Amino acid sequence: MIKLKKLALLLLIFSLFFLSLTPLTAWAEPDTDATEEELEDELPFDVDAKSALLMEATTGEILYEKDADAKYPPASITKIMTLLIALEAIEEGKTDWNDTVEVSENAWRMKGSEMFLEIGQEVTVDQLLQGISVVSANDACVALAEHLYGSEEMFVQIMNQKAQQLGMKNSHFENTTGLPHENHYMSARDIAILSAYTINNYPKILELESQREFTFNDIVQYNRNPLLGRFPGADGLKTGWTTEAGYCLAGTAKQNNFRLISVILNSPNLSSRLSSTEAVLNYGFRNYIFKVMVDKGEVVGEAPVPDGKDKEVAASTQNSLGAVITLPDEDRLETQVIYDKLSAPIEKGDRVGEMHILLENEILSRVTLVAEQDIEKTNFAVIALRQVGGFFKNMTTGLVDMIKGIFE
């Protein structure tokens, strides 16, 4: 009997011991300190549109998306591509801002948004680009297309070629205006890709698109972009509407050296298009920052050139290097330089490697490193001596390490 009592007491002691190790979660207070991952899972939200996307303009990082690869009628958002082709033509010398264009009957007959061109009227390329940008003028699109490539059809071929070059996999154009056609479509992702490329390479588009009004033939018209003058830092980009497309808006804004591009497609009305655009832009600006780690042209190291007269070449960044991050990650970023296997001769500006921004060994962004000076090829004898010297250096280092290992 005494043994049974001792056994029962022993079991009770062990039970109390194990209970002390088990957390009493049934009575614990709720955990108010949610992890960063849990909070971020709650942040993405739905918008009142069939398709939407938020992109950082420099890196192309996607911060929010909804059905972003689906094909939708883009309406006048099409005109971002029209403007890009025109800006490229100016850069290439095919035309000039001050060149005059004679308005054809074909352009004059265009319906929808217009700048009210007259048949036979002479208008400058600059005026046409302002008309397309500010009042979404369909007549100006056709006049410009005919001026640059002889016909709208030829101009559209260039638009589709450019879309392929930019990797716009879910876009096809049938006209320069965005007027409805069953084979004319774009995706939200493609629109963001196009917008980022145009802004980064032809920032003049923002000057055009941020104009609040446009006067032509004594007719004053106003920019339909609801972000201008309302959303902090907004300076573009393009609105659109047709019955088929619904209400669309490709918007962009810059705050604290951080540019975002938003795309809203097929929203049911004007107010929801605006509120959805503001929602995604606010989400981006409130939850992310753009951290610049290295400025453009900064020398970050010396790349080895085994057969060069100089054994190394200074390596600098081709562009600035930055990454989109949440604020808690700012102090956890690291950089990494990786040099290419180089051989002389090397000319100034040649690629010599890459520099990466890392967060927990994940590459967030990268930039090309280029040579800061020319490097000529040295003769065979010098290369041979360097190789022999390198061999003995490696052998000596290995021997020293081995001796250290013996005595440690």
Catalogue the active-site residues.
Answer: 76, 79, 136
3-state SS class at 119: coil
CB neighbours of residue 70 within 10 Å:
15
3-state SS class at 85: helix
Distance CA 97, CA 16 (A): 87
End-to-end CA distance of the chain: 64
Query: What CA–CA distances, in Å, run from 44 to 41, 57, 271?
Result: 7, 19, 21
Rg for the chain (alpha carbons), in Å? 31
Q: Are 237 and 270 in contact (CB under 8 A)?
A: no
Cis link prior to 226 (omega < 30° from 0)?
no
Q: Could you give the count of Cα atoms lying within 13 Å of 349 in the half-sphere of its Cβ? A: 0
> CA nearest 294: which of 264, 263, 316, 266?
316
Cis link prior to 237 (omega < 30° from 0)?
yes
Q: Are 118 and 103 in contact (CB under 8 A)?
A: yes
Distance CA 157, CA 136 (A): 21
